[in-house]
Amino acid sequence: MNETILSFSLPSGQTLELVHGDLTIEQVDAIVNAANNRLQHGGGVAGAIRRAGGRIIQQESDAWVAAHGPVSHAAPAITSAGALPCRYVIHAVGPMWGSGDEDAKLSAAVTGSLETADRLGLASIAMPPISTGIFGFPKDRAAGLFKAAIEAYYQAHPESGIKLVRLVIIDAQTLAIFERAWRER
């Protein structure tokens, strides 16, 4: 069972939550996958989503890349959710630390995920701390960027139909860093 650690009501009426738990059990309209640009879901969050959702997620991902090419930071890919309890998986590509312009790329991945969810008419979305694992993005820096990008999205789109955004973090160390940063903002 996932545990909500922090909950914020934004001025535009949406709710932002920081959650300790497993992204693959979130009962929301869509979850966000921390993907690579070729949508090869081998390890980390992507591997966990593929294992929990089934082979269909990798098959649809391969078809998406064949049709559209590599996924950009600002324009995530979409697949069904297979056996997951949500309807869609939004595959967002965050930056590899050291690739240049990392802050803008991470903000673009978060914003692109929200834009995609809005285009699909979704009311709820859960995402992991994109790029903070094997991509090496500093967790404390990412924490501030996530919150700022989400708040900026709602300032620009107060009419958004996405009423709930949950940032779901499985490991206690990363969770503690995000919690501290979000309490300070």
pLDDT score, position 185: 72
Where residue 168 sits, what CATH number does that domain have?
A: 3.40.220.10
Tell me which residue range forms the domain holding 7: 3-184
> Given this model, what pLDDT does residue 82 score?
98
Look up tokens 């300790």; give the residue. 20
pLDDT on residue 65? 98
Cα separation, 53 vs 3, whole angstroms: 22
Indicate the number of domains in the chain.
1
DSSP string, 22-67: -GGG--SSEEEEEE-TT----SHHHHHHHHHH-HHHHHHHHHHHHH
The predicted structure's pLDDT at residue 147: 95
Answer for the pair 68, 40: CB distance below 8 angstroms, yes or no. no
Task: Extract the residue ranges of the chain whose pLDDT is less than 50.
Answer: none
- At residue 1, the pLDDT reads 87
The structure's pTM equals: 0.96
